[in-house]
Chains A and B, each alone.
Chain A
Amino acid sequence: MTIHDQQSRPPEHDLHGVEMTPDERELLDLFRRLRRLAERRDLAPCVSANVKQAMVMVWNACNDLALVDAPPGHD
């Protein structure tokens, strides 16, 4: 299983084993959606570059809250 496979599972708990708050679930969902966009190669440069910028910033918030345990990739 790769890092990204594990991240893409729908966890209900953070890395501490504590159930995520609604805000945390929303944040993680946002990160995943941005990462899916960041993976794409068919987007305009202005979209791709800005999505990647946004994705790594949201990843930081997820990392700070122990919602993910690995770098995002696709940056």
Chain B
Amino acid sequence: MPDADWPAYWNPKHETLPREALGRLQARKLHRLVQGAYDRSPFHRRRFDAAGLRPDDIRSLDDLRRIPLMTREEWMQNQAERPLFGDLVTRSRDDAIRYHLTSGTSGRQPLRVLDSRADWSWIGEMWCYGFWGFGVRPRDIVFFAFSYGSFIGFWGAHYASEKIGCLVLPSGNMTTDARVRQIVEMEATTVCATPTYALRMAQAAQALGIDLARDSKVDKLIVSGEPAGSIPATKRLIEEMWGAKCGDTAGMTEIGTIMIFECDHQPGGTHIIEDNFIEEVLDPETGEPVPYGKEGERVVTSFGRDFIPLIRYRTRDLVKKVPHDTCSCGRTGDIYAGGILGRVDDMKCIRGTNVYPRAVESIVREHPEIEEFQIVLTREDGVRDEISVHVELAADRQDAWQGMAKHLGRALADAHEGLRFNLELAPPGSLPRFELKAKRLQDRRAEGAR
């Protein structure tokens, strides 16, 4: 079927639903979610009981605010107390078909997630909203610059592309040069990558004498994993280097999929998939809702993941919600202007991997010979983020460096989905010392981007 004959929306019934009806649908799904979580998740039952709430108390969207906010720290503590998966999950491990993890907020412990067959079907479905919305159709040839590992990343997007009927090119552990060549040779029309890696591939292509804008068939880049996909300057650079339009998406391991996507009208933001999520924007200090146009913290309630009911989960993402009619596409899902704007906490995103400075510190501190350290973030070649740990050893333990560096590098990578940490030995006494609040992280990426 010619592309023009397909409907513009993946789900015309809900993507154009009047907001009043959308609210009623969310309220109904919320009640069902809460009842199911109370019945099947001891974690949620305890939280509801502690708040003096029963599922029948939650009947409307106004009731949503009676439910206590849930944090990642609570979830991780629950998994630590009840290894491996805690009792937030509603089903036994026997019912799961997949295990993924993401780096933790502290120490080596990752956040572990399980999903069922239905969950994975739904995860792919959410990506279908986004892919279809950005113009992906069955004739497309979709290339995934993705490692297909324990990080959930583009797994769901891969399944979405297959579901839509695209030809999928999974590049796994190919080198960057090999990826560029395959994109050209196989006439890929759509490329999925982090924004940073999209630029990296474009640079590699230039070095190979390939002009992607001229030599490739790529007309769509769908990016995820970093806020840069909605930063106008970065997006413009990607679009120029590839000669293609670039669409942003954002998701998180905690919900398994994406909750926002940029449509092909490119309104400078991302639509919320509101028939499957309730997205609140709250003042991170007071917990009070903020109005349209004001920055606040994303708080998500997810309806589709059976194994892991998330209700009022604090994401620590900074967003600014604007009305749906800011975009001319006709979708009634509201928009996060500029996508994910940043973080409320100190988490850093390095090449798509979440890094919490306190998690790095707890691993570094396992080595008593380390006297002081600094985490330094840089941007190489204007696009590639690097994380380095500068380590200062005790004066009488300089001989420990060789063995320790290898072990420390591996431990840091293992705790961060294989992310490479560059380790540098600093001369004794060269790193700053702190008496009060320590500042052991230097983010120099803005300097490198200039």
Residues of A within 8 A of B50 (CB): none
B178 lies within 8 A of chain A by Cβ: no
Most buried by B among A53, A57, A60, A64: A64
Q: Do the beta carbons of B32 and A69 come within 8 Å of each other?
A: yes
B125 lies within 8 A of chain A by Cβ: yes
Residues of A within 8 A of B304 (CB): 63, 71
A9 lies within 8 A of chain B by Cβ: no
Q: Do the beta carbons of B122 and A70 come within 8 Å of each other?
A: no
Q: Do the beta carbons of B13 and A64 come within 8 Å of each other?
A: yes
Residues of A within 8 A of B36 (CB): 3, 70-71
Q: Do the beta carbons of A65 and B32 come within 8 Å of each other?
A: no
User: With the chains together, A52 CA to B122 CA distance in Å?
Assistant: 14
Residues of B within 8 A of A11 (CB): none
Q: Do the beta carbons of B117 and A66 come within 8 Å of each other?
A: no
Known A16-B21, A65-B13, A66-B14; judge A3-B117 contact (CB<8 A): no
User: With the chains together, A52 CA to B117 CA distance in Å?
Assistant: 8
Residues of B within 8 A of A71 (CB): 36, 116, 118-119, 122, 304, 306
Q: Do the beta carbons of A56 and B121 come within 8 Å of each other?
A: yes
Residues of B within 8 A of A60 (CB): 121-122, 125
User: With the chains together, A3 CA to B28 CA distance in Å?
Assistant: 13
| Pick from A16, A65, A72: contact of B24, CB under 8 Å | A16
In this complex, what residue of B is CB-closest to A64?
B11
User: With the chains together, A72 CA to B121 CA distance in Å?
Assistant: 11
User: With the chains together, A60 CA to B29 CA distance in Å?
Assistant: 15
Question: What 0/1 readout, one digit per residue, does chain B (262-302) give for beta carbons within 8 Å of chain A?
Answer: 00000000000001000000000000000000000000000
Question: What 0/1 readout, one digit per residue, does chain A (18-46) give for beta carbons within 8 Å of chain B?
Answer: 00000000000000000000000000000
User: With the chains together, A32 CA to B32 CA distance in Å?
Assistant: 19
In this complex, what residue of A is CB-closest to B309?
A71
User: Which of under 10, 10 to 19, 20 to 34, or 35 or more describes the interface residues of B?
Assistant: 20 to 34
Most buried by A among B11, B29, B118: B118
Known A63-B304, A64-B11, A64-B13; judge A69-B118 contact (CB<8 A): no
Q: Do the beta carbons of A15 and B28 come within 8 Å of each other?
A: yes
| Pick from A15, A59, A66: contact of B121, CB under 8 Å | A59
User: With the chains together, A53 CA to B11 CA distance in Å?
Assistant: 21
A12 lies within 8 A of chain B by Cβ: no
Q: Do the beta carbons of B117 and A70 come within 8 Å of each other?
A: no
Q: How far is the CB of B366 from chain A (nearest CB, A)?
A: 41
Question: What 0/1 readout, one digit per residue, does chain A (47-60) give for beta carbons within 8 Å of chain B?
Answer: 00000110011011
Residues of B within 8 A of A66 (CB): 13-14, 25, 275
Residues of B within 8 A of A73 (CB): 118, 306
In this complex, what residue of A is CB-closest to B120?
A56
Question: What 0/1 readout, one digit per residue, does chain B (207-244) give for beta carbons within 8 Å of chain A?
Answer: 00000000000000000000000000000000000000
In this complex, what residue of A is CB-closest to B91?
A73
User: With the chains together, A35 CA to B95 CA distance in Å?
Assistant: 16
Q: Do the beta carbons of A64 and B14 come within 8 Å of each other?
A: yes
Residues of A within 8 A of B24 (CB): 16
User: With the chains together, A53 CA to B119 CA distance in Å?
Assistant: 11
| Pick from A16, A56, A69: contact of B117, CB under 8 Å | A56
| Pick from A16, A52, A57: contact of B25, CB under 8 Å | A16
User: With the chains together, A63 CA to B304 CA distance in Å?
Assistant: 9
Residues of B within 8 A of A70 (CB): 32, 36
Residues of A within 8 A of B306 (CB): 71, 73
Q: How far is the CB of A46 from chain B (nearest CB, A)?
A: 16
Known A16-B24, A16-B25; judge A75-B13 contact (CB<8 A): no
Q: Do the beta carbons of B121 and A69 come within 8 Å of each other?
A: no
Residues of B within 8 A of A56 (CB): 117-118, 120-121
Q: Do the beta carbons of B32 and A57 come within 8 Å of each other?
A: no
Question: What 0/1 readout, one digit per residue, does chain B (23-42) give for beta carbons within 8 Å of chain A?
Answer: 01100110010011000000
In this complex, what residue of A is CB-closest to B124?
A60
Residues of A within 8 A of B120 (CB): 56
User: With the chains together, A59 CA to B303 CA distance in Å?
Assistant: 14
Which 5 A-B pairs have CB atoms at the shortest separation, nearest pair first? A71-B306, A56-B121, A75-B117, A75-B118, A56-B118
- Beyond A16-B25, A63-B122, A66-B14, 19 additional contacts (C-beta under 8 Å) are A3-B32, A3-B35, A3-B36, A15-B25, A15-B28, A16-B17, A52-B117, A56-B118, A63-B125, A64-B11, A64-B13, A66-B25, A70-B32, A71-B116, A71-B118, A75-B95, A75-B116, A75-B117, A75-B118
Which residues of A are at the interface with B, using a C-beta cutoff of 8 A?
3, 15-16, 52-53, 56-57, 59-60, 63-66, 69-73, 75
A-B contact pairs, 10 of them (CB 8 A): A3-B36, A56-B117, A56-B121, A64-B125, A65-B14, A66-B275, A69-B32, A70-B32, A71-B306, A73-B118
